[in-house]
Amino acid sequence: MSAAADPSNAALAESLLAFWADAGVDAMLLDEPFDRIEAGKVIPPPRPAAPAPLAAIPAVRKSGPPQPDISTALAQAQAAAAGAHDLEALVAAIAAFEGCPLRYEGAASQAVVYRGDPKAPLMVIGEGPGADEDAMGQPFVGRAGKLLDRMLHAAGLQDRVLITNTVFWRPPGNRTPTPAEQAICAPFLERIIALVRPRMLLLAGGASAKSLLKRDEGILSLRGRWLDWRSADGQLELPAMPTLHPAFLLRQPGAKKRAWQDLLALTERLDRPDGPN
Q: Is residue 137's pLDDT more than 60?
A: yes
With respect to residue 93, please indicate whether it lies within any of the assigned structural domains. yes
Lowest-confidence region among 3-17, 104-118, 197-211: 3-17
Given this model, what pLDDT does residue 275 score?
57
Lowest-confidence region among 35-44, 84-93, 125-134: 35-44
Q: Is residue 264's pLDDT more than 50?
A: yes
With respect to residue 96, please indicate whether it lies within any of the assigned structural domains. yes
Local confidence band at 69 (pLDDT 50, 70, 90 cut-offs) = confident
Given this model, what pLDDT does residue 109 score?
77
Pairing assessment for the beta strands 115-116 and 200-204 based on DSSP bridges = unpaired
Enter the pTM of the model: 0.75
With respect to residue 55, please indicate whether it lies within any of the assigned structural domains. no
With respect to residue 45, please indicate whether it lies within any of the assigned structural domains. no
> In three state form, how does the secondary structure of the chain look?
CCCCCCHHHHHHHHHHHHHHHHCCCCCCCCCCCCCHHHHCCCCCCCCCCCCCCCCCCCCCCCCCCCCCCHHHHHHHHHHHHHCCCCHHHHHHHHHHCCCCCHHHHCCCCCCCCCEECCCCCEEEEECCCCHHHHHHCCCCCCHHHHHHHHHHHHCCCCCCEEEEECCCCCCHHHCCCCHHHHHHHHHHHHHHHHHHCCCEEEEECHHHHHHHHCCCCCHHHHCCCCEEEECCCCCCEEEEEEECCHHHHHHCHHHHHHHHHHHHHHHHHHCCCCCCC
With respect to residue 116, please indicate whether it lies within any of the assigned structural domains. yes
With respect to residue 38, please indicate whether it lies within any of the assigned structural domains. no
With respect to residue 28, please indicate whether it lies within any of the assigned structural domains. no
Q: What's the whole-number average pLDDT of the chain?
A: 86
Q: How many domains does the chain have?
A: 1
pLDDT (tens digit per residue) in 73-115: 999 999 999 999 999 999 999 999 999 999 998 788 789 999 9
Higher-pLDDT residue of 37 and 143 is 143
Given this model, what pLDDT does residue 122 score?
98
Domain containing 95 equals: 70-270
CATH of the domain at 205: 3.40.470.10
With respect to residue 57, please indicate whether it lies within any of the assigned structural domains. no
